[in-house]
Structure 1
Amino acid sequence: MLLRILPLILILLSGAAALANPCQEPAVVITGISLSGNETTKEQVMLRELTFAPGDTILAENLEPLLEENQRRLFNLRLFHHVNYTYTCSEGQVQVAYQVQERFYLYPIPIFDFADRNFNAWLEKKDWSRIDYGLNLIRRNFRGRNEEVRVRVQRGFNKRLELGYRIPYVWRKYNIGADFSVADYRSRTISYANLNNRQRFFEQESGMPIRRSSVSAALVHRQNVQRQAGLRLSYFNEHISDSVAFLNPEYYREAQQERQYTRLELYRVINRRNDFAYPTAGSYFEAIVAQTMFLQNSGSPFTTARAKYVQYVPLSDKYSYMVGAEGQLRLAGKHAFADNVALGFRSYVRGYELYVVGGQHYGLFKQGLTRQLVDIKSINLKFIHNPKFNSVPLAFYLNAFTDAGYVVDDVFEQGNPLTNRLLLGSGLGLHAVTFYDIVLRLEYTLNREGDTGLYFSARFPF
């Protein structure tokens, strides 16, 4: 029995190993850093994330906080299941050791998804023909250098083919990385207009009413895992059928059926959350400015600016509070319906999942109080022998929230009463978090219109 629990005891005590041999000197020198468990990951990938190096002098009272901070930095690379550390201190000299448990890096994820914006939008129709299927293949930590290769082959109602490659460093001296992607999208249906803030769909019996292809390349300045900035250049070619152009001549405006355009995008991300999958402390900031230019007189150029800031405040061991805001400005001489996207897709007020609120500008506010119900560090699956899969963490959180949003639409607001109106939603949710950053949410909501509903989602709320 003792032999079985001894490894567990050693792991639990590893983070506090220094207590057995505390540093007596007021300042210490880091004389060495060792890494173990990284069978695939190159050492330089891990060492680049650390904020200290051999030869650094550190106040003894700051040593533990420094090692814990860097433990989180390594964990937030999302390359490891667990990151632990130990250190020894002798005559003012410190040897640090980080131990990691690597994840499985090849993700052959079957695609079986709903063709609508979210599960509840599909559930309203209950049309089993509106199903997408295929394979999403992701190879993370490619070559052990934290590179990523992405291949998506999707059939069914919406057809997609996507290829992508991300490399964190192409110019190491300046921490410059790159991201490349190419995509092709075709669908049997298209949302050609909104009425009463509901999408109006046109489905073509033969052929595809919409086709979209794109090529994108980006340079990314990666200061560290928490701070990044990038410059992305993309090219798009889009085509709709003559039936769609007839139903809504404003869909592409001047282009009528086909348009080509380039988009230059500058973005900045500062991610200081304690956990990238389900944060309970820290902050998150992102800002994006994009200029879209149309080719061959196929549209009017427009500028988009979007920003988001969220603060996560730990109140106790079990409770945390989240508050954040997001906003968008879109400036153009003329607006096409295809670009009139605000709330209802990537961002929305909870309680309005079944609605689409189009517009040029929007503001969104969210807050929530979270209580941790269960936090199981590891469920051992004895029938699985691979250590990358046989240990499953599981946590449950109870979340009470309120959301507010406002959309400004001066072009397509007619017949859509939720535009230019304050949207309010609140509710109670149960959130589950498990391995490989999977977050599942089940939320009961009430909105300003008096609608109630039970909604399911598979991503973090904000």
Structure 2
Amino acid sequence: MRYQLWIVLGFLLMSRSGVALPDSTKTAVIRHIFLEGNHKTRAGIIMRELAVKSGDTVRVHELADILEVDRRKVVNTNLFVTVQFDPEFTGDSSQVDLRLKLRERWYIFGLPVFQLADRNFNEWWYDRNRDFSRITYGLYGSHNNVSGRNDKLKVLVELGFVPKYEISYSFPYLDRGMKLGLTAGASYSTNKSLAVRTWNDKLDFLPGESVNRRRFYFFISPSYRSKFYGYHMLDVRWVNATVSDTVLIRNPHYLFGDDTRQRFFQFTYTYSYNKRDIGQYPLRGYNVVFQASKRGVLPGDDVNQGYLYGVYRHFLPLGGRFFFNSGVRLRASFPARVPYLNMVGLGYRLDLVRGYELYVIDGQHYGVLQNELKFRLFDVVKTIKWLPRQFGTVPVALYLNAFADAGYISNKVPEWSNSRLSNRLLAGTGLGLDLVTFYNLVYRLNYSFSAEGERRLFFSVAREF
């Protein structure tokens, strides 16, 4: 009873002193939504991302949170450098106009390509003796907003260690309801030197002066975006690969048998639900990915393989400058014996236990648990006035992170790769720095410790979406 009296007394004192209590019942009608700064991008592409519409009635005290969610969705289109909502209330606050201020990115790029042919920088630095002959060079051209509808055209010409030619076009919305999309593309590459097997959990390369492998594929991918966060995609592709006799002599399991050619159709269904705040470097929210694929669809196809793949990751702000995220990656592949060319294990892209960046661990089924604790050192936006407006706004953020990973991969044929790391628990931990800047660039520097007692400094550059 005493506590209740104190609460009532507190409210009376606040009202007498002139302190206004928040009115959680007050509402306002959204009168107009104005877009500013979308010189190239069509208004419908932006409005597609907004949950709020003209004529909606919203609670005033909830408006800021609602607009922040919509602002992040517009940011994740990767069309704008900055996105800002400015609400403008009428005199009695019964109506509000929303002004969405945008600064578009530079959409047309013609960039020289100068990159490593290896899986990552660390493999090249530690295992390939910093061999500059393993460099690919060429030209990458892209238009990331061709018609103003967030459609993308990409052309890649690479020469050097692995010559490659690629072209793709993506149109996210074919229908008036803005739910159906389509992507199509093709790729052709040749290899003189290539990894013909994994041995002792390392890629074993076959050197060569003549072409030892040619690979061509064509794909078409219809997509369906059900709501704001969910995507369905069906990828249909035809793959044709040919290798030299030397490859089969070096590894009889590379394609199976004496046939130097492998051709097949592949169907892959992917569902993703991405409710992260910022796709570039998420700090809150979660994302889910599920994938089911079948290689070898027609009776005459040279491969018969299926796999299931799933990812779940959750991002949590802990208060202040601290953030935490945890996630799991799972993959199951059937049957156990497939050609080496179609074998996928741990060590590629994000499917790895940190501390084992230098290893490729073959197997059929694997699971990886990844955890990170982050501390934001700073997060600023610099304006460089003498640069064009698309480049003059430069966000820069630096995070200190501590990570701990664990994983396991099941390998039914470890003798094929003389593996010592498959069929056992893997664990790694370490500290790192993440530098996040504009156009989705993330620079990572990690010092990792593995359960094998190895400790190394690893560096990577990624352009994330």
Would the TM-score normalized by the shorter structure come out above 0.5? yes
User: Within 5 Å, which residues of 2 pair with 1:256-405?
Assistant: 256-293=259-296, 297=300, 299-332=302-335, 334-346=337-349, 347-378=351-382, 380-384=383-387, 386-405=388-407
SS of alignment partner, residue 171 of structure 1:
coil
Q: Which one is further off, 182-191 or 24-33? A: 24-33
C-alpha distance after superposition, 1:103-140 (max 9, x if no partner): 10012222111111111111122211110001111110
Aligned to 1:239: 242
Which whole-Å CA distance do the structure 1 matches of 2:303 and 2:166 have between them?
A: 28
Instruction: Mark the CA change 1:329 to 1:232 in structure 2 (over 3 Å): closer, same or farther.
Output: same
Q: Does 1:196 align with 2:193?
A: no
- Tell me if structure 2 keeps the 8 A contact 1:330–1:361: yes
Q: How many residues align?
A: 438
Aligned to 2:32: 32
Aligned to 1:110: 112
Aligned to 2:452: 449
Instruction: Mark the CA change 1:286 to 1:267 in structure 2 (over 3 Å): closer, same or farther.
Output: same
User: Within 5 Å, which residues of 2 pair with 1:65-214?
Assistant: 65-90=65-90, 91=92, 92-123=94-125, 124-125=127-128, 126-173=130-177, 175-206=179-210, 208-214=211-217
Aligned to 2:4: none
Q: Which one is further off, 28-37 or 248-257? A: 248-257
- Tell me if structure 1 keeps the 8 A contact 2:108–2:143: yes
Deviation at 1:25, TM superposition (A): 7.0
Which whole-Å CA distance do the structure 1 matches of 2:70 and 2:283 have between them?
A: 18
Deviation at 1:254, TM superposition (A): 4.1
Instruction: Mark the CA change 1:33 to 1:134 in structure 2 (over 3 Å): closer, same or farther.
Output: same
SS of alignment partner, residue 403 of structure 2:
strand
Aligned to 2:63: 63
Which whole-Å CA distance do the structure 2 matches of 1:298 and 1:342 have between them?
A: 23
- Tell me if structure 2 keeps the 8 A contact 1:77–1:225: no
Which whole-Å CA distance do the structure 2 matches of 1:460 and 1:143 have between them?
A: 23
Unaligned runs of 5+ in 1: 1-21
SS of alignment partner, residue 151 of structure 1:
strand
Q: Does 1:421 align with 2:411?
A: no
Question: What TM-score do you get using the length of structure 2 for normalisation?
Answer: 0.90
C-alpha distance after superposition, 1:393-419 (max 9, x if no partner): 111110100111111110244511011
Report the identity percentage. Answer: 32
Question: What TM-score do you get using the length of structure 1 for normalisation?
Answer: 0.91
Deviation at 1:171, TM superposition (A): 2.2
List 4+ stretches of structure 1 deviating above 6 A.
Answer: 22-25
Instruction: Mark the CA change 1:59 to 1:24 in structure 2 (over 3 Å): closer, same or farther.
Output: closer
Deviation at 1:383, TM superposition (A): 3.8
RMSD: 1.9
Unaligned runs of 5+ in 2: 1-21
Which whole-Å CA distance do the structure 1 matches of 2:453 and 2:67 have between them?
A: 50
Which whole-Å CA distance do the structure 1 matches of 2:105 and 2:148 have between them?
A: 12
Deviation at 1:294, TM superposition (A): 6.0
Instruction: Mark the CA change 1:229 to 1:308 in structure 2 (over 3 Å): closer, same or farther.
Output: same
1:372 is aligned with what amino acid? R
C-alpha distance after superposition, 1:242-265 (max 9, x if no partner): 000111111111463101011111
Which whole-Å CA distance do the structure 2 matches of 1:382 and 1:272 have between them?
A: 34
Deviation at 1:317, TM superposition (A): 2.5
Return the index of the structure with the highest Cα Rg.
2
Aligned to 1:5: none
